[in-house]
Structure 1
Amino acid sequence: MEMPEGVYGLRPIIGITSNISEERLLTTGLSNIQAIVKGGGVPIVLPNLADESSIEQLAASIDGLLVTGGNDADPALYGEEPHPNLGEVCPERDYFETTLIAKFLEKNKPILGICRGCQMINITAGGELFQDIYAQIDKPLLQHTQKAPRSHPSHFVEVKANSLLYEAVQSTRFKVNSFHHQAVKRIADGFEVSALASDGIIEGYESKLHRFVLAVQWHPENLAQKDDEFSLKLFRRFIQACQQGSETI
């Protein structure tokens, strides 16, 4: 696949986090890789390292971080016992991602979080999750684990005007897909909500302290496969931020 030239010259290197399968294989959806390419970046799939010095070197070496979807996060990371409806967790991936996200935040490097990635950024920064929205929220909810193809938008989100997300997608309302049963409950200090579903579930948030840390609960990488305009704009804005360097805060 031929990659488009970056707006500012050399294309930035984007690290993509990965799952660990039962067969001890690293996996990530091709849609994650293809979305970064469409956005103008060079994707690299990251292993789940356990050595902090190696993670530090990795954080210094890549231009941006895409924290992808996957299994549930360990609730011990935000001080809770496991709910009966908690799904499978992967301690190796949890450690790697929280350590790498923390180093990216320190370096003020761009991060885009998707679904689980949205939740992991919040946890790393000190926030909390609903372990299971259907058991822990006492009101009617939308279908957040849709019974439709992954590239099909299923429900609307409302986007806050003047937010980074609005700047990226240039719309205050559009449809997204949905594949989750966990969600952000208490947002971390220094972050603000930028998108909500009609039932009040947080669908997007962003940092007020960093130049580009943006997280969404849906899967724009799957929508980008069908050239969804909002998803393509989101990835292009992320890659643009990655091309502009970093500044330690």
Structure 2
Amino acid sequence: MKPVIGVTCSVNHKSLYLADDYVLAIRYAGGVPVLLPVGGEEDIPLLLSKVDGILLSGGGDIDPFWFGEEPVPGLGEIEPGRDAFEIKLCRQVLIKDMPLLAICRGMQVLTVAAGGDMFQDIYSQMDAKLLQHRQQAARTHLSHTVKLSPGSLLEKLAGCHFIKVNSFHHQAVRTVPKPFEVCGRASDGIIEAVENCAARFAIGVQWHPEALIGKNDLVSKNIFSAFIRACRGN
């Protein structure tokens, strides 16, 4: 039986949308994607009873209200309804220890839902000399390197210490709460991956592996395959 994967969506002018790359990546790995509409937080327990795992997708910025801050000038467009739904969804997923893959914005949602916080805009809030994290290239282009932590699950899936990733963000995780650990950083220190090795499967990545599946990127394929295996229970 193929596992059913609930995938979060963006909202724009009363329309839900999701890049097809997520659907194709889940199908490639052997899962069946089901799109989760924003809203209806009271129905989250019912939704979770119908799926085997959750993928938190990328998208717009997160309202700093959720980590106790006022908005800074560099904050981009937010989707308040999406924030509320996904953070509450993620908290219940973590309590139930369901397999979870969090991508780009999804990793930030995961961190905030677990009690961490983030930079609203790295370029105005950090003093370090930063890389270009919002690349001006195709989504399949590998933009910068990420160093993976020795012994981490992500390093085992990658089979090496350094990987190259694509990059489309200006917000970033700042504080990672336990039991999550940082397992990947860019050369400028930006947190690029987190995981909880005690969970069935709980990984967040700041890049977009779903966009690299079609390019035959082995690390991306391994991430999705491991996620779907966890959703099957093996």
Query: Smaller-chain TM-score range?
Result: over 0.9
Q: Say if 2:29 is the partner of 1:39.
A: yes
Amino acid aligned to 2:12: S
- Residue of structure 1 equivalent to 2:16: 26
Deviations along 1:124-148, one digit per CA (max 9) or x if unpaired, are: 0000000000111101100000011
The worse-fitting range, judged by mean Cα deviation, of 155-164 and 123-132 is 155-164
Q: Say if 2:87 is the partner of 1:98.
A: yes
Match among 95, 111, 120 for residue 100 of structure 2: 111
Q: Which sections of structure 1, spanning at least 5 residues, go unmatched?
A: 1-9
Q: CA deviation at 1:208?
A: 4.3
CA-atom RMSD in angstroms: 1.0
Counterpart contact for 1:49–1:55, Cα < 8 Å: no
Structure 1 runs of 4+ with >6 Å offset: none
The worse-fitting range, judged by mean Cα deviation, of 194-203 and 225-234 is 225-234
Question: 1:227, 1:16 → 2: CA distance?
Answer: 22
Amino acid aligned to 2:9: S
Amino acid aligned to 2:231: C
Q: CA deviation at 1:224?
A: 1.1
Q: CA deviation at 1:190?
A: 1.3
- Residue of structure 1 equivalent to 2:4: 13
Q: Say if 2:216 is the partner of 1:227.
A: yes
- Residue of structure 2 equivalent to 1:77: 66
Counterpart contact for 1:113–1:121, Cα < 8 Å: yes
Question: 1:163, 1:208 → 2: CA distance?
Answer: 8
Q: CA deviation at 1:32?
A: 0.6
Q: Which sections of structure 2, spanning at least 5 residues, go unmatched?
A: none
Q: Say if 2:196 is the partner of 1:207.
A: yes
Question: 2:194, 2:56 → 1: CA distance?
Answer: 14
Match among 97, 100, 109 for residue 120 of structure 1: 109
The residue correspondences of 1:77-226 to structure 2 (distance < 5 A) are 77-226=66-215
Counterpart contact for 2:167–2:207, Cα < 8 Å: yes
**Identity of aligned pairs, percent?**
47
Amino acid aligned to 1:34: L
Counterpart contact for 1:127–1:187, Cα < 8 Å: yes
Question: 2:116, 2:131 → 1: CA distance?
Answer: 23
Question: 1:171, 1:66 → 2: CA distance?
Answer: 24
- Residue of structure 2 equivalent to 1:62: 51
Counterpart contact for 2:41–2:89, Cα < 8 Å: no
Counterpart contact for 2:153–2:197, Cα < 8 Å: no
Amino acid aligned to 1:32: Y
Question: 2:116, 2:31 → 1: CA distance?
Answer: 29
Counterpart contact for 1:203–1:217, Cα < 8 Å: yes
Question: 2:232, 2:111 → 1: CA distance?
Answer: 24
Q: CA deviation at 1:170?
A: 1.8
Aligned residues: 234
Amino acid aligned to 1:77: W
Q: CA deviation at 1:168?
A: 2.0
Question: 2:199, 2:64 → 1: CA distance?
Answer: 26
Counterpart contact for 2:7–2:36, Cα < 8 Å: yes
